[in-house]
Amino acid sequence: MEFAVWTKGLTTLAVDCLVVGVFEDGELGAEARAVDAACGGRLKALLARGDFAGRSGETLLATDLPGLKAARVLLTGLGSRKQFARKGWRKAWSAACAALARTRIASCAVALDRPPARELDDYYFGRGIAELAHSTLYRVNDLKTGKKPPAAALARVLAGPVRRAEAAARGLKHGAAIAAAARVQRDLANLPANVCTPTFLAEQARALGKRPASVSVRVLDERAIRREKMGCLLAVSQGSAQPPRFIVLEYRGARAAQAPVVLVGKGVTFDTGGISLKDPPGMDEMKFDMSGAAAVIAAVTLAAELRLPLHVVGLVAAVENMPDGRAVKPGDIATSASGQTVEILNTDAEGRLILCDALHYARRFHPAAVVDIATLTGACVIALGHHHAGVMGNDQALVRQLLEAGVRADDRCWQLPLTEEYAEQLKSNFADFANVGGRDGGAITAATFLGKFTQGLKWAHLDIAGTAYYSGAQKGSSGRPTPLLADFLIQRATG
Ligand code: BES
Ligand code: MN
Ligand code: ZN
């Protein structure tokens, strides 16, 4: 899809459709008034008939209005004028995109009223236009054999009104790149686990790294992983017929020898729970347990695509967690790459076991910051539901950067406390500590476990178990937290 900014002459633009907003009180937005005047009051007449109420999420397509170059006008509801803010604007534009996708409209000009600049400046306006257009039009890469419905025709979007065209254009460019990265994450995560194995994930990382030539990709196979003494990662992997992979992506966009941001992703390509086997209902969704890994691959390639002046390293621990005669058993003790020993009381708490070895590996880069991303705990879903990811860390400035990036990117996270008392729950009689600390505060004790491996590093942890994918009728990857990570990296590069 192609994006550009329009600055004037809305009614004379040679596009298939104009997209205008209507408030709930039936009042037209400023841009819609200009369109209405050009077509001799036909929009007002339509509203007077009561055919469109301007409710948030509603759309109506009007065709062949006089006085306009465009053959169609799509009305989209802005909701209540008093409460109109960024959220309402986003919903109006997404609803419009969904409506456009059902037509043969190939080009449109957006002319929605905009919330005040403190809510949505020109840059984030551009980003929102491009990101939402792409994410609304996203189709799951399914393996259905029937005839595919035709792809949406929408190929060109002119965005406005804008105050500073340059900032909006930069936003459009970034938004399209973020959407492409989110698509990488979604496509990988939506694949079934019999296709998306650790080996496949490594191959995909290699291929994606080749596109922006500035990303180098190294893959450690089982032997190399053994050489790194990643005993916890190998304990998880030992029950699977699929060999593990440890993927290292590196993008050097910074001039000097800048300390890198290291992103670490949980790449459990399928999580059965192992010997601590999960209940059958919903187990298929554990193919999404590599969403953190997919987000890391997406974020590193995005940094390269945008040529951000940053040094970014992505580390992906890719394994499959299976029950088997060779599988790790409750009570087994593994030695992590850090040398610390872990009593594996529950083989379903496998994410932290692969991450602890990956976090230790991060030390060799002398990172400025380390952020791990993982579908780590059901407890985080209980605590926060599906709207906010959980964030914890040992460096409040870093945590704050992630919280703020989430707000700006509309991909929010919420901090949970990570104080020393929780360590009590991880005590073991047989090893340095156990890998589980009981049900209470499960998202926090998981982070506490990771914290044992990040001492001296500036580290934060994103638990995306509740946000990385949708269940139910909309089952599929959400592409989160790629927008958050993108904003975090862009901010570090520019601010
Ligand atoms: N991958 C799961 C966490 C998860 C649960 C992600 C639900 C998405 C939705 C993780 O490996 C896991 O099984 N965690 C256990 C930890 C427990 C055994 C301490 C959990 O949350 O039940
Ligand atoms: Mn598990
Ligand atoms: Zn898991």
- Ligand 1 pocket test, candidate residues 233, 290, 348, most atoms within 8 A of CB: 348
The mean pLDDT of 51-67, rounded to a whole number, is 95
Q: How many CA atoms lie within 13 A of 4 on its CB side?
A: 10
Interatomic CA distance for residues 66 and 39, integer angstroms? 5
**Residue owning tokens 């890998």:** 435
Whether the full predicted model's pTM is greater than 0.95, yes or no, is yes
Interatomic CA distance for residues 87 and 57, integer angstroms? 11
Residues in contact with 170: Cβ distance below 8 Å, sequence separation at least 6, in sequence order: 123, 126
Interatomic CA distance for residues 233 and 381, integer angstroms? 24
Please provide the size of the chain in residues.
495
Residues in contact with 217: Cβ distance below 8 Å, sequence separation at least 6, in sequence order: 205, 206, 209, 210, 247, 248, 249, 250
Nearest to 495, CA basis, from 259, 308, 297:
308
Q: One-letter amino acid identity for 215?
A: V
Lookup: tokens for 264 = 């670490």
For residue 234, give Cα distances in angstroms to 25, 240, 243, 352, 472: 62, 10, 9, 12, 33
- What 3-state class would DSSP assign to 485? helix
Beta strands at 245-252 and 156-159: parallel, antiparallel or unpaired: unpaired
Write the pLDDT tens digit of every residue in 154-168. 999 999 999 999 999
Nearest to 130, CA basis, from 101, 158, 102:
158
**Residue owning tokens 């989160």:** 480
- Whose CA is closest to atom 7 on ligand 1? 378
Beta bridge partners of 476: 470
Packing angle, helices 482-494 and 291-305, rounded to 10: 40
Q: Give φ, ψ of 268 to 5 degrees.
A: -85, 105
Write the pLDDT tens digit of every residue in 295-345. 999 999 999 999 999 999 999 999 999 999 999 999 999 999 999 999 999
Q: Residue 226's CB: how many other CB atoms inside 10 A?
A: 14
- Of all residues in the chain, what percent carry a pLDDT higher than 70? 100
Judged against a pLDDT cut of 90, whether residue 26 lies above it is answered with no
Lookup: tokens for 325 = 């005669």
Residues that place a CB less than 5 A from ion ligand 3: 268, 271, 289, 351
Interatomic CA distance for residues 401 and 460, integer angstroms? 10
Residues in contact with 213: Cβ distance below 8 Å, sequence separation at least 6, in sequence order: none
Is the minimum distance from the CB of 16 to ligand 1 under 6 angstroms?
no
Beta strands at 17-23 and 107-111: parallel, antiparallel or unpaired: parallel
Interatomic CA distance for residues 127 and 367, integer angstroms? 29
Is the minimum distance from the CB of 103 to ligand 1 under 6 angstroms?
no
Lookup: tokens for 29 = 């937005």
3-state DSSP helix/strand/coil % of the chain, to nearest 5: 40, 20, 40
- What 3-state class would DSSP assign to 189? helix
Helix ranges restricted to H, 348-441: 351-362, 378-384, 396-408
Nearest to 284, CA basis, from 200, 409, 202, 191:
191
Note whether 248 and 318 are within 8 A (CB).
no
pLDDT confidence band for 249 (50 / 70 / 90): very high
- Ligand 1 pocket test, candidate residues 377, 382, 439, 477, most atoms within 8 A of CB: 377
Nearest to 370, CA basis, from 359, 380, 378, 381:
359
Is the minimum distance from the CB of 442 to ligand 1 under 6 angstroms?
yes
Predicted local confidence at residue 63, as pLDDT = 95
Beta strands at 245-252 and 311-321: parallel, antiparallel or unpaired: antiparallel
The mean pLDDT of 232-250, rounded to a whole number, is 98
**Residue owning tokens 């599906």:** 386
Indicate the average pLDDT of the chain. 97
Q: How many CA atoms lie within 13 A of 80 on its CB side?
A: 2
Judged against a pLDDT cut of 90, whether residue 211 lies above it is answered with no
Note whether 481 and 466 are within 8 A (CB).
no
The mean pLDDT of 402-421, rounded to a whole number, is 98
The mean pLDDT of 411-425, rounded to a whole number, is 98
Question: Which atom of ligand 1 lies nearest, measured to the CA of 468?
Answer: 8
Interatomic CA distance for residues 19 and 98, integer angstroms? 12
pLDDT confidence band for 213 (50 / 70 / 90): confident
Interatomic CA distance for residues 60 and 55, integer angstroms? 11
The mean pLDDT of 254-277, rounded to a whole number, is 96
Note whether 141 and 187 are within 8 A (CB).
yes
Note whether 28 and 20 are within 8 A (CB).
yes
Query: How far does the centroid of ligand 2 lie from the alpha carbon of residue 270, in Å?
Result: 9
Write the pLDDT tens digit of every residue in 120-156. 999 999 999 999 999 999 999 999 999 988 889 999 9
For residues 109, 115, 121, 127, the Cα torsion angle rounded to the nearest 10 degrees is -50
Question: Which atom of ligand 1 lies nearest, measured to the CA of 350?
Answer: 11
Cα 263 from chain centre: 14
Q: If you ran DSSP here, which 8-state letter would residue 476 be given? A: E
**Residue owning tokens 């551009």:** 126
Write the pLDDT tens digit of every residue in 449-477. 999 999 999 999 999 999 999 999 999 99
Is it true that the peptide bond before 281 is cis, omega within 30 degrees of 0?
A: no
Write the pLDDT tens digit of every residue in 369-381. 999 999 999 999 9
Predicted local confidence at residue 471, as pLDDT = 98
Query: How far does the centroid of ligand 1 lie from the alpha carbon of residue 236, in Å?
Result: 14
Question: Which atom of ligand 1 lies nearest, measured to the CA of 289?
Answer: 1
